Structure 1
Amino acid sequence: MQKRPDFVLFMTDQHRADFLGCSGHPVLKTPNIDAIATSGTIWDRFYVASPVCMPNRASFMTCRMPSSHGVRANGIPLDKRNVTFVELLRDAGYKTVLIGKSHLQTFSGKPPMLDALQTRSGFHRATGALSQALRHDLETYLAEDPGRTSYGTPLPFYGFDHVELVTRHGDDCGGNYRDWLLKRDPNADRLLGAANQLPHDYVCPQAIRTALPEEFYSTSYIAERASAWLSENKDDDQPFFLMVSFPDPHHPFNPPGRYWDMYDPADMQLPAVFETNDWDPPAHVASVLEDREAGRANPGSYAVLGVYAQEVREARALTCGMISMIDDAIGKVRAQSKAKDAVTVFTTDHGDHLGDHRMLFKGPAAYEELTRVPFIWSDPEAGGPNRTGDIGQTHDIGVTILERAGIEPAVGMQGRSLLTGGRQAAFIQYDHQKTNRGLGRRPRIHTLRTPDWRLSILDGIAWGELYHLREDPGELYNLWDSPAHAKQRAELVEMLARQEIAHVDEVPLPIAQA
């Protein structure tokens, strides 16, 4: 049998597709990520399965949609009854390694944001195991709980034999990284967080000039530990899959040291929406903007936020700083001899508004800046540079890796190998815990994205969204009620219905004839 390839997969967190040098960003420099693209293929139409962290990371691991693996929204841990593509690699003889962020479980320690259940007068409501329609114990590893490290976590961890975790975001991260940091500086806590930050004049929400030195920041830890593993295993012939996963450039915006002022906010382009006077935002977006104007928003939370022009420029500049630090870290990892001949993949879990539609962070919509993400596939046997306009999605990545390794996917995996081409359309699911004021309910949005169109349907809402992306790439003018586009809308609704059917679970398989 031909030797199976090694794999190194780099993943960032909350990283837009257009924030890379090789994707045409006018200011940001990413030479090491660009080098992956130079010897590989950039997918210009690559989409998430869900535009939030835990659901899309679970889709990456299981090669299935959120409605199938069960992590429909943030706050639902990935039940380990799900089979991951990493487990299949391990079963076929691969070493499987995770350095950095996993986020397949909750790590905030905060209670859910669900509205309290209402019990009608005179009615009985069951509690405990009978309170939900599915009995479950959400069997997970509990390795990412606040204050814990991965020490003592049963291995393999979702299929990974070697795990060194980083949990949370910003400069105050946990997991194995926390132990590493305190060994280097037992008093590091005096440097962490907004209370200990260095002086600055930025006004952007969650712009924090961390006092933590570059060499102690989580990105440096991940580069060091991934490089060390590659060096320690350089003479081993056993094939490996190494996932190198960074918590940045997710907010807070706190690039350390020289990366803080590497980019000038004045050089950052403002989105076209700031020059538009005729945009009528849909209700679930309008409520976000109204809450910021009325002072009802919490700029310090993870929730989507209305944003102003100067804040956008600053957020973009600081994001570029965090990405540049990641790019330098990737260069260090790729300098290891063991990484040079590996199939190399670069992607992220979802995007960030970063000012588009006058919002910051993520949610509550399915705009391109959230759903379209970077994906680069570099195979030494295929060469490059290449670009493709084919459509791919996050849950295709694992199946593509399995295909390249000569391993059959598990029955019921819904991804497809991108080695044989892309998809007709992207199918995207979004669900959220918290009620959106503009909708009057929790947003549950299913989206179809074709090369020319984006259609979204909202659960329990009479209207939807329809955008002609060639004529309106900013998704500002909703054509849902346009009589001239009624035929196109009907065709896309039918396509979406077919996607819904195609992604209904096929497992468990029948065990006998009835």
Structure 2
Amino acid sequence: MSGPEVTRPNILVFIADQLRADHLGAYGNDEVRTPNLDRLAERSTVYENAHVANPTCMPNRASLLTGRWPSAHGTQYNGIPVDPEASTFVRQLASCGYRTSAVGKLHHQNMGWDFEPEQLEQIRASAPGLMDPRLPDAFNRLREPGWDQCENRERHAASFIPMPEDYYGYQNVDLVIGHGDAPGGHWAHWAREQGIDPELLGGSKAGTNVLDSWEQVYTSSIPASAHPTRYIGVKASEQVRKAAGEDDPFFMFVSFPDPHHPFAPPREYSRRYDPDSLSLPVGFGQDHSRSPEHIRKMIAQRGQPNGDPTMTFSVTETQYRMAAAAQYGLIEFMDEQIGEVLQTLEETGQADNTIVVFTSDHGDLFGDHGLMLKHFVHYRAVTRVPLLIHMPGQKVAEHRADLISSADLAPTFMDLAQVPAFRGIQGRSLSENGELRVGDGARALLIEEDQPFSLEGLPAPVRMRSVITPEGRLTKYFGTDTYELYDHRNDYDEMENLAGLQQAQGLKHRLEMALNEELVNLSSAQVRPVASA
């Protein structure tokens, strides 16, 4: 005699782009207004120490998708599409009866951005074979031409292009390509249906209040009603309503391209925060005499953005304040859309059987230590991300200090959905028997970052590996003698680099042992052996 049928939960995941944890009210920020996420946190498990597997968009999004670190899944930096044959948790859910959909930015394939000229020069000098089209890759698979152009912005600009029926496991995708107020993809066609031409009204040239010293901060001329953030809210609510009429459970990935720079809120949100009233972040004017050379060089050029607008640089007080006021407006706008989607979930009667998750793909230095954006540094602001998990029926918040990685989410989602995992998962599930575990975090977390180019003061190619434990952080820049060492028990804000100090040798040794162990742990089997020899 069979037991009662088990009802599998829906899973609704919200993800922000380049949002550090403490730019939300739920994580202690009393300047930004995020009432909907704050209410969600009040009935969720709030993970205080969730960190990325890699602090860069494509690599960490691939880790979220596969439960594997970039050195294993192969997307080690932006520009390498995720292997279309890779096992993903979304594909596993779909194969077991879940209806899977995504709304917004995915970034599993290239958007079509080129390297900057100086970056290409560095790559050709340090790794001449990397960009040579005549050389084969380590693995060559026969694939249809164009397989890796599904998120190419130029291709989507010509006409509306539906996504494949199985896009890394997603059966339906409403796509946004890029960031800011005028990205590409399906949004651009929707905006035109609203009477808005992104080519005329999008970007800093059409915007107002452009910051003279950094054009990544401006007020968008795209109205809030046609903004990408609004598109995502509308399309996600449509998908939630559609799901109410279906028998099978759903998995939905709702991915906002904000608050990633450019920091360009629509006019309705651009003046909600007074730049002069915002407090300066930790270590804004700190002494960097013991910091690595590339950080010291950035500080010496404070106020000069990198030629590549995505790269780390040192900000002035004015640049920080103006960017923070703009970003807070974007965060508040995003929070309102999340509130609308959650309201739709309630109205359609699906809230009581839906797990709701909020996180981000990586953080942003955003003024900490006098730096901005990301790349080539692993300060907490850029590696730590928000992570809220609401379980059906949960009424009160639980706060956990466990060390959690972005790679842990894939196995967690499969466990919560009662779906078998695939071989090669490197993340650790936070769930057991359909419930979240208590006090079962990792002893140490590994963070990878690889780049084929670098900044002044740091030779290319860059191979960074960090380990974080409750005791501290060690970051090694492989190929150089440079490393960073921080004692989190006495220096939570990472203000004093202890590298080279005799009194810190014990800490260094313990963290090196933890780093070595984590590196070995990544050699897990990913293919079933069919014989002993």
What whole-Å deviation, never above 9, does each CA across 1:210-262 have from its counterpart, x for those lacking one? 11110010000000011111112312221000111000000001011221111
1:303 aligned partner, one-letter code: M
2: CA distance, partners of 1:124 / 1:394: 32
1:456 aligned partner, one-letter code: T
1: CA distance, partners of 2:273 / 2:214: 15
1:189 aligned partner, one-letter code: E
1:101 deviates by 0.6
What whole-Å deviation, never above 9, does each CA across 1:16-74 have from its counterpart, x for those lacking one? 01011111102111111112111111100000000010000000001100000001111
The 10-residue stretch of structure 1 (51-60 or 278-287) with the greater mean CA deviation from structure 2: 278-287
1:354 deviates by 0.7
1: CA distance, partners of 2:66 / 2:322: 36
Kept after mapping to 2: 8 A contact 1:74/1:433: no
Identity %: 33
2:167 is the counterpart of 1:148: no
The 10-residue stretch of structure 1 (5-14 or 353-362) with the greater mean CA deviation from structure 2: 353-362
Distance 1:41 1:179, change over 3 A: same
2:416 is the counterpart of 1:404: yes
Distance 1:464 1:298, change over 3 A: closer
The 10-residue stretch of structure 1 (84-93 or 127-136) with the greater mean CA deviation from structure 2: 127-136
2:322 aligned partner:
314
1: CA distance, partners of 2:163 / 2:251: 20
RMSD over aligned Cα, in angstroms? 2.4
Distance 1:242 1:407, change over 3 A: same
Kept after mapping to 2: 8 A contact 1:32/1:331: yes
Kept after mapping to 2: 8 A contact 1:68/1:505: no
2:298 aligned partner:
288
Kept after mapping to 2: 8 A contact 1:273/1:279: no
Query: Of 341, 347, 351, which aligns to 1:340?
Result: 351
2:402 is the counterpart of 1:387: no
2: CA distance, partners of 1:464 / 1:177: 43
1:251 aligned partner:
261
2:150 aligned partner, one-letter code: A
- For the residue of structure 1 that corresponds to 2:428, the secondary structure is coil
Uncovered stretches (5+) of structure 2, i.e. residues with no partner: 432-436
Uncovered stretches (5+) of structure 1, i.e. residues with no partner: none
Kept after mapping to 1: 8 A contact 2:13/2:357: yes
2:220 aligned partner:
210
2: CA distance, partners of 1:127 / 1:211: 41
2:505 is the counterpart of 1:493: no
- For the residue of structure 2 that corresponds to 1:58, the secondary structure is helix
1: CA distance, partners of 2:89 / 2:510: 34
1: CA distance, partners of 2:210 / 2:501: 48
2:89 is the counterpart of 1:85: yes
Kept after mapping to 2: 8 A contact 1:59/1:65: yes
2:310 aligned partner:
302
Q: Equivalences for 1:120-269 in 2 at 5 Å? A: 130-135=135-140, 140-149=147-156, 151-185=161-195, 187-199=197-209, 203-269=213-279
Kept after mapping to 2: 8 A contact 1:79/1:138: no
1:36 aligned partner:
40
The 10-residue stretch of structure 1 (3-12 or 424-433) with the greater mean CA deviation from structure 2: 424-433
- For the residue of structure 1 that corresponds to 2:410, the secondary structure is helix
2:355 is the counterpart of 1:351: no
- For the residue of structure 2 that corresponds to 1:376, the secondary structure is strand
1:285 deviates by 1.4
1:98 aligned partner:
102
1:504 aligned partner, one-letter code: S
What whole-Å deviation, never above 9, does each CA across 1:81-132 have from its counterpart, x for those lacking one? 2111000100110000101110111113314734354699xx9999656454
1:167 aligned partner, one-letter code: I
Query: Of 452, 456, 468, which aligns to 1:433?
Result: 452
2: CA distance, partners of 1:347 / 1:326: 13
1:291 deviates by 4.6
Distance 1:96 1:279, change over 3 A: same
1:301 deviates by 1.6
Query: Of 107, 111, 120, which aligns to 1:107?
Result: 111
1:415 aligned partner, one-letter code: G
The 10-residue stretch of structure 1 (488-497 or 380-389) with the greater mean CA deviation from structure 2: 380-389
1: CA distance, partners of 2:130 / 2:23: 50
Kept after mapping to 2: 8 A contact 1:141/1:153: no
TM-score, with length taken from structure 1: 0.94
